[in-house]
Structure 1
Amino acid sequence: MINSITENIANFLKEYAPFNYLNYDELIQVTNSIGVVNLDKHKVLFQINDKLHDSFYVVASGVINLSVVADSEETLLNKCYPGDVFGLRPFFAKNNYMMTAKAREESLIYAIPIDIFKPFVAKNPQVLDFLLESFATNTRNPYDKENRGKLITDNVYTDNQTTEFQYFQSLTYNKTPLKVSKTYSVKDTAQLMTENLIDSALIIEQNQPVGIITDTDFRTKIANGRFPISTTVDKIMSSPVITVPENVSVAEAQLLLLKYNVSHLCVTADGSDKTDVRGVISEHDLIVAQANNPGVLIKEIKRALSAKELKLVREKLTDLIQTSISKNIPLPHIYTITGEIITAIIKRAVELAILDLGSPPARFAWLSIGSQGRKEQLLLTDQDSILVFEDVAPEKYRDVKDYFLKLGKRTTSVLEKVGYPYCPNGHMASNMLWCKSLSDWIKQYDNWMKTPGENSNNIASIFFDYEIAFGETKIEDTIADVISKNSKSNALFFDYLGNDTLRKNPALNFFKKFNIEEEGNNKGKFDVKNKAIMPLVDGARLFSISLNLRGINNTYSRFKQLALVDPKFSELYLNCADAFLILSKFRTLEGLKNDNSGDYIAIDELTKVEKERLKNALLPMKELEDLIKDKFQLTQFS
């Protein structure tokens, strides 16, 4: 006979993932063994370095804060509300807890024994997938249907890792790679590779990697006669080798292949080339591990010879984005992968333009600005770019600029055919205003930052979000130096930028209703881009420039970093980071559904839960506005 307490707990849990994947009998089996924990305000459930418990936890009532200690300061990572699950580390790891769980207010917690729950995980792929995906991210998972049953990871990642989260996904690779010394001949090495049915060989010294050769090297360096088959492998090897630690994730490995344009990674004891070899990861290993491998799209982009071929890749990318969202892949990961692929498309568009026009007369950099400069362009929104070419002799300036204007027009034309509309404000490298020499760009940024408000129609905050897509990184670095220098003790600039940030119409009216459009084609709809997302984008940029956070352009990453460098307001920054992801997902889903920019959401078509979730994501904005007003003492441009 089922007692009323067990039945009440079961009825509570069945509303939240992953428990909603269990049938009622299974749920009763779980709830029969559940422990109930009462936590007073500020009471700690577990803390950093505590031994793992034999249960994981669900918040029944109250709020639980999860925090870590960084630079001797306790930093709040997330807050858990009723239905949120946390303390998953005992499922997937053996080391001690890596964060602290403390009651923010009097709370009631359900403790679910892992031994009792594991059989249901083993036989239910949906439960397993949910737990793995959730353990893999270091934020609350706001992507579940109706945002229910959010899980909180116990994973904490160090600053030197390439992403802020990882898939908790195993990666099978060759742990007995072929190893040869520098003195081996190409012929002997090729024979060994054939006999072992593998496509690579590591060149080692004292079991440490100094180079690698692959089938590609044989095709490009031996088969074409560049080197004789009798040559030693050190003459054709790629060096240095890109190395990774043994616990590298699918996501990290994938990003490294994209970043360094290589087909193999060498696994070593500590991830450096100064320790023993442990194995080799190939592209094939990643394809097996992850069906939708963006590396395949990158290869197609590099082979593309027309805008039509690039458009086909972009359509595949849209499918990949849609699939990733449906699988609850964390949005920051989707942003990162999509950003790399779009950057490759832009780079190829520039290359195709150069093939038509001939070699450039000077070194240059093509910079994506705006949403792609922040790597937040999931939808086919308009293109924004600038072109910076190195300084040339005065008598050559006109001809050089003419060439780059033609390059800009051809490149933006290709991108328009791919599906990226021209910027309605003309913020493109094809515009003579935004295609000029490095010295001219330095003057431009100096004017914007030293005399804000003068010719203000020409200043757009998106020029401070940039990412190099093609060309000389030193040019991009110079622009960054100029911005950094001009941001020091520049109250006037931040006064201008701060007021510009607050100039947008509020998302909610006095009665806490959505401020919907009252006329035009989007009458009755909510402008989620300009009234919800852009205030967060602008706020993150404002604080990042003021605190000189270089190399961090993504809004979510900016807020996460701000929480570390400005810990007094860490909770607000983390709430803004969460809000940005939730709002961005609303916009992306709207855009994918209607094949448009997703800027306007039909509020009437949302469920009650979706409306509430959208409204809750807007709550940090007032606090962010107040912080901007207070920190920058906005006066002159108010």
Structure 2
Amino acid sequence: MKNPIAERITDFLKHYPPFSSLEYSKLLEIAKTCRVLYLEKNQTLFKINDPTHAFFYVVASGAIGLSVTSDTDDVLIDKCDEGDILGLRPFFAKNNYLMTAKAREESIVYAIPIETFKPYVAENPAVLSFLLESFASNTRNPYDKNNKGKLISENVIYNDQNAEIQYYQPIKYTRNPITATPVDIVKFVAQTMASSKIGSIIIHEDRKPIGIVTDKDLRSKIATGLYSIDVTIDKIMSSPVITVADNLSIAEAQIMMLKHNVSHLCVTKDGTNDSEITGIITEHDIVVAQANNPGVLLKQSKRAQKSADLKEVREKLVDLIQHSLDKNVPINHITSIVGEINLAITKRAIELAIKKMDTLPPAQFAWINIGSQGRKEQLLLTDQDNAIVFEDVEEEKYDAVKNYFIDLAEKVTRTLNKIGYEYCPNQMMASNPLWCKSVSDWQHQFKGWINAPAEKGVLNNTIFFDYDFVYGNEDLVDTISTTIVEETDKNELFFAYLGADALKNPPPLGFFRQFLVENDGEHKDTFDLKGRALMPLIDAARILSLSKGIKNISNTISRYSKLAELEPQNATIYESCADAFAELLKFRTEEGLKNETDGRYLNLTELSKLDKVKLKNDFQPINDIQEVIKNKFQLTYFT
């Protein structure tokens, strides 16, 4: 008997990938199980954090908008039109939806049952490839020429390269898992699983896998009475077990699980079942791996309820940085992502601190990060540097308002310290009354630094010229930025002092091109990567940006990019400085992650010859940029 609705669905689907790869008869069988959904304008199909559905969806007519939440606003990031697929998450992940799907006009959507479609995916590589590429690249259609590579993620600042970080990095899994032999009794195997808090156990002979038993087997075969709890484990095991080789990526693990319709993979020495067991991969491992993607970490930051929650995010961020470096992702992309997540962590710490205060803030204020945090160059867990700007208030209220913000800052800095950001040894923190001021006081402070640099010690406080707005009223920060631009404009004395300071550290090579290392102290014979190589480039970018009146750009690489745009005659030098800074920052980050330090001091004996050559090549731009500073500010006599 004909089914006109199913035939109509089939005739529609056959024109769009991946359905176009299927035979008409098979597509018709799928269509018979589909549901047809009618959505009115603004009706929601699924929302962020909803549990995943048993269906994925194809737009038959109309348009479905996909949006994420940025702070409290819904941000539309894509629109699915006729033939586009959405809601693929249940195929590849068990955690909830990461976006909202809502009809932008009256729409008809076909809901295709995932369980019905899975067998066709497993037997058709073209279909599997399409779905995996769609999900892994976060595109609604990887073959869409107009939108290829367009990101659909938690935060719209990320590009498809970050999706590659997530899905093509090696998956972490349990090594040397607990195993059982086929003659072990179910009862004792179950007790072992319970005491070890594991959901599966591999059955082996001579350390070679022959089967697997999961919680599901115990429920469906033992709890139902199908088998006695006293039988041997081989009676209820699933066999054969799916085996894979080491160094499997997340994407590859997802493919294997989907292809074989399993939730566990056994890792062996050579990837076959005739080889020794070395590990086990579970669906949970895939979910955990996905939890380290930037969008998820941002979401976790926003929802954190205590410092321990934020500490967990920061620890996951370390893994993200390491994986990004392993994948050779450009360091400027890493700093951009990490900077946003660090900012989100700080912002949430402030929100939690405000909740702990007896009253709401008595005046408008802004929290700013300064130094490396202000430049969004803090990849390692170094100390915190921050400040507070609050609006001008009546003189009689000033002390009370300032004391409120100092108390607030103490709570915030304490939380940040618990997360892992050490207190600044020089007390350059918002909890220090010196760095918690009204707008007018901050304007006065900067005017003093700028117009009397020698007297006011601006050279010790250049850190305050590298700041980034974090929370509150950004207009207060803009007011200070305007003051800095006005006061530094054509201020020859200020730039003379600042320029001389920027020239204090020449390229760190001796007469015979040997590295200049520390002569004594705790770090004797090591190379000070921060002081001798990174800081000269940071200082140069700062003074040149200030001299050009560049506002709201504090990141060193971004500063050099802007300078190259404004001064084409020096563009080659600025671009070389940006490249050198990026490589030096990568050196420091790798050193810090390897030794769990701030990465400042390099042991040159541990570097390869190639790395030493790279380092020395990065020093030439320091010489070039210092020559630019000498000429621009006529500093021959200062040096």
Deviation at 1:293, TM superposition (A): 1.5
> Counterpart of 1:391 in 2: which secondary structure?
coil
Deviation at 1:445, TM superposition (A): 1.1
Change (3 A) 1:213 1:348: closer
Contact 1:509 1:515 in 2 (8 A): yes
Write out aligned runs for 1:30-429 (5 A).
197=55, 241-242=76-77, 263=99, 281=152, 283=154, 290-291=166-167, 292-358=292-358, 359-429=360-430
**Aligned partners of 2:464 and 2:371: how far apart in 1?**
7
Contact 1:559 1:573 in 2 (8 A): yes
**Aligned partners of 2:76 and 2:542: how far apart in 1?**
36
Contact 2:380 2:589 in 1 (8 A): yes
Change (3 A) 1:504 1:188: closer
Write out aligned runs for 1:598-637 (5 A).
598-634=599-635
Partner of 2:472: 471
Partner of 1:495: 496
Deviation at 1:458, TM superposition (A): 7.7
Partner of 1:224: none
Contact 1:401 1:435 in 2 (8 A): yes
Aligned residues: 414
Change (3 A) 1:195 1:294: closer
**Aligned partners of 1:198 and 1:527: how far apart in 2?**
55
Q: What letter is aligned with 1:503? A: K
Q: Deviations over 1:139-166 (max 9, x none)?
A: xxxxxxxxxxxxxxxxxxxxxxxxxxxx
Change (3 A) 1:244 1:194: closer
Q: What letter is aligned with 1:375? A: K
Higher relative contact order (CA 8 A, sep 6+): 1
Gaps of 5+ in 1: 1-176, 218-236, 247-261, 269-275
**Aligned partners of 2:302 and 2:434: how far apart in 1?**
30
Change (3 A) 1:569 1:362: same
Deviation at 1:307, TM superposition (A): 2.0
Q: Percent identity over the alignment?
A: 46
Contact 1:499 1:637 in 2 (8 A): yes
Contact 2:448 2:456 in 1 (8 A): no
Q: What letter is aligned with 1:530? A: G
**Aligned partners of 2:418 and 2:46: how far apart in 1?**
49
Q: What letter is aligned with 1:350? A: I
Contact 2:66 2:79 in 1 (8 A): no
> Counterpart of 2:426 in 1: which secondary structure?
coil
Change (3 A) 1:188 1:283: closer
Deviation at 1:551, TM superposition (A): 2.3
Q: What letter is aligned with 1:448? A: W
Most deviating of 585-594 and 299-308? 299-308
Deviation at 1:282, TM superposition (A): 5.6
Contact 2:385 2:424 in 1 (8 A): yes
**Aligned partners of 1:516 and 1:316: how far apart in 2?**
34
**Aligned partners of 2:613 and 2:317: how far apart in 1?**
31
**Aligned partners of 2:480 and 2:446: how far apart in 1?**
8
Q: Deviations over 1:318-338 (max 9, x none)?
A: 111011001101111100000
Q: What letter is aligned with 2:437? A: K
**Aligned partners of 1:438 and 1:244: how far apart in 2?**
43
Deviation at 1:537, TM superposition (A): 0.6
Change (3 A) 1:465 1:245: farther
Contact 1:212 1:239 in 2 (8 A): no
Change (3 A) 1:473 1:517: same
TM-score by length of 1: 0.59
Partner of 2:140: none
**Aligned partners of 1:592 and 1:418: how far apart in 2?**
17
> Counterpart of 1:454 in 2: which secondary structure?
helix
- Radius of gyration: which is bigger? 2
Partner of 1:522: 523
Deviation at 1:281, TM superposition (A): 3.6
Q: What letter is aligned with 2:76? A: V
Gaps of 5+ in 2: 1-35, 82-97, 105-145, 168-291
**Aligned partners of 1:550 and 1:448: how far apart in 2?**
18
Change (3 A) 1:240 1:520: closer
Partner of 1:547: 548
Partner of 1:78: none
Change (3 A) 1:365 1:199: farther
Q: Deviations over 1:85-128 (max 9, x none)?
A: xxxxxxxxxxxxxxxxxxxxxxxxxxxxxxxxxxxxxxxxxxxx
Write out aligned runs for 1:579-590 (5 A).
579-590=580-591
**Aligned partners of 1:594 and 1:556: how far apart in 2?**
26
> Counterpart of 1:453 in 2: which secondary structure?
helix
Q: Deviations over 1:171-204 (max 9, x none)?
A: xxxxxx999665x6779999xx999956999999
Q: What letter is aligned with 1:489? A: K
Contact 1:379 1:591 in 2 (8 A): yes
Change (3 A) 1:179 1:298: farther
> Counterpart of 1:241 in 2: which secondary structure?
strand
Change (3 A) 1:282 1:543: closer
Partner of 1:572: 573
Q: Deviations over 1:585-623 (max 9, x none)?
A: 111111011101100000111111111111111111112
Deviation at 1:452, TM superposition (A): 1.4
Contact 1:480 1:550 in 2 (8 A): yes
Deviation at 1:504, TM superposition (A): 2.8
Deviation at 1:471, TM superposition (A): 0.9
**Aligned partners of 1:264 and 1:364: how far apart in 2?**
33
> Counterpart of 1:585 in 2: which secondary structure?
helix
Q: What letter is aligned with 2:541? A: A
Most deviating of 389-398 and 351-360? 351-360
Q: Deviations over 1:467-511 (max 9, x none)?
A: 111111111211111111112111111111111111236411222
Contact 1:266 1:277 in 2 (8 A): no
Contact 1:587 1:598 in 2 (8 A): yes
Q: Deviations over 1:247-268 (max 9, x none)?
A: xxxxxxxxxxxxxxx9459999
Change (3 A) 1:452 1:520: same
> Counterpart of 1:392 in 2: which secondary structure?
coil
> Counterpart of 2:437 in 1: which secondary structure?
strand
